[in-house]
Amino acid sequence: MTGLVLKDIRKAYGQVKVLHGIDLEIKEGEFVVFVGPSGCGKSTLLRMIAGLEDITGGELYIDGQLVNDVPPSKRGIAMVFQSYALYPHMTVYDNMAFGMRIAGESKEEIDRRVRSAANILQLGPYLDRLPKALSGGQRQRVAIGRAICRNPKVFLFDEPLSNLDAALRVATRIEIAKLNEQMADTTMIYVTHDQVEAMTLADRIVVLSAGKIEQVGPPLELYERPANLFVARFIGSPAMNIMPVSVIGTDQETRIKLKDGSEVTIDVTTEASEQGKSASFGVRPEDLAIATGEDFLFEGNVEIVEALGEVTLLYVNGPVEDEPVVVKLPGIVDVKKGQTLRFSADKTKLHLFDAAGQTYRR
């Protein structure tokens, strides 16, 4: 098993700074997912771990060894790219065996590893086929199998499912989850922009923005207790509803006033000095429900109804003008466009952020 330690890792291209001091420890056997918007630096960070990008500053340790100047081939890492990068004239077997042949492994060892990897990934019947005879999901599994054959200390995945259609993404994601269970002692780092992949695969998620880490933690911790506005908006689909408010009362619970004049009690603690200050109120679409009594959070006119079968999405003209509130209700709901409804939410599910965008803790 192998762990990684990143100490003040920085990256710059000339005067352009891309990563601004990344500090992170990845435990042995952990599955860590890097997420963030395009341009946040997640793929650059992965390539620096792989040795494909030079480290401008800081220290990178793999299995306790400083590897800043160690070439990629000596780091004990295998990488699976967004593109399959398979040799079109080679069979599946030869594609998976190629790296070991270059390394001078014996025929017996090559055959053992290839067939073992093929068994894990259910590729046994396809070993004699060329890549052009495979589906996109099968080709990606071949690329993963090639990485397994190298018997690496660390697996790196760079958006491996981006080129697949929706059904294949789900199927291949399940294969990667099974692979993680079967190779529980192997450290895996996975880069994606798809938060569903992150939430379902990760032991811990690293949320990146503009070359900095915003929050690190287990998936549900980031979902339930985001550290700031950026994480709150990024984790969850549809995104969390955010509304400007002012703090009007502080104690073990905090009272806030929305722009329409209504008041809400939130289960967070604020200081007396916060009273009267501007803040941001957040509630996730799935935490809202149609109110059945007089106790409600806000009232609004339904502008759009999206009936998806498993859920119904309502876009409601809420407390903030020109900023509809998204409500996510389970199943099929008999709601029509133009209806005026009241919505409620469990106060323990509500979020409050200060003027700097940081979360008030419960």
For 196, phi then psi, to 5°, come to -65, -45
User: How far is residue 5's CA from residue 154's CA, in Å, rounded to a whole number?
Assistant: 13
pLDDT range class, residue 73, cuts 50, 70, 90: confident
pLDDT for 200-242, tens place per residue?
999 999 999 999 999 999 999 999 999 999 999 999 989 999 9
pLDDT at position 181 is 84
pLDDT for 111-136, tens place per residue?
999 998 888 888 889 999 999 999 88
Q: Using a pLDDT cut of 90, give the percent of the chain over it.
A: 54
pLDDT at position 337 is 93
pLDDT at position 92 is 92
pLDDT for 7-44, tens place per residue?
999 999 999 999 999 999 999 999 999 999 988 999 99
Flag the least confident range among 40-49, 52-61, 259-268, 303-312. 259-268
pLDDT at position 338 is 92
DSSP assigned state of 231: H
Where does residue 24 rank: exposed (0-12), middle (13-18), buried (19+ CB within 10 A)?
Answer: middle
Q: Is the distance from CB of 138 to CB of 123 less than 8 angstroms?
A: yes
User: How far is residue 257's CA from residue 99's CA, in Å, rounded to a whole number?
Assistant: 63
pLDDT at position 2 is 65
pLDDT at position 41 is 92
The residue-averaged pLDDT of 272-288 equals 88
pLDDT for 242-255, tens place per residue?
999 888 877 677 88
Q: Using a pLDDT cut of 70, give the percent of the chain over it.
A: 99
List 59's β-bridge partners, or say none. 7
pLDDT at position 104 is 85
The angle formed by the CA atoms of residues 64, 213 and 67, to the nearest 5 degrees, is 25
The residue-averaged pLDDT of 136-162 equals 85
Q: Please write down the long-range contacts of 205-208, taking CB distance under 8 Å and 24 or more positions apart.
A: 205/32, 205/33, 205/35, 205/235, 206/24, 206/32, 206/33, 206/34, 206/35, 207/35, 207/36, 207/231, 207/234, 207/235, 208/34, 208/35, 208/36, 208/40, 208/41, 208/42, 208/45
Give me the helix-helix angle, 136-149 and 166-182, nearest 10°: 20
Q: Which residues in 32-61 are b (16+ Cβ under 10 Å) and which e?
A: bbbbbeeebbbbbbbbbbbbebebeebebe
pLDDT for 330-343, tens place per residue?
999 999 999 999 99
The residue-averaged pLDDT of 164-186 equals 81
Q: Does position 1 have pLDDT exceeding 80, yes or no?
A: no
List 4's β-bridge partners, or say none. 26, 62
Give 184-229 as a DSSP string.
TTSEEEEE-S-HHHHHHH-SEEEEEETTEEEEEE-HHHHHHS-SBH
pLDDT range class, residue 284, cuts 50, 70, 90: very high
All domains of the chain in start order, with CATH? 4-234 (3.40.50.300), 241-353 (2.40.50.140)
pLDDT at position 79 is 87
Residue 245, both tokens? 């408010």
3-state secondary structure of 27: coil
CA 106 to chain centre: 39
Flag the least confident range among 91-105, 156-170, 220-234. 156-170
For 150, phi then psi, to 5°, come to -75, -10
Average pLDDT of the residues of the chain: 89
pLDDT at position 6 is 96
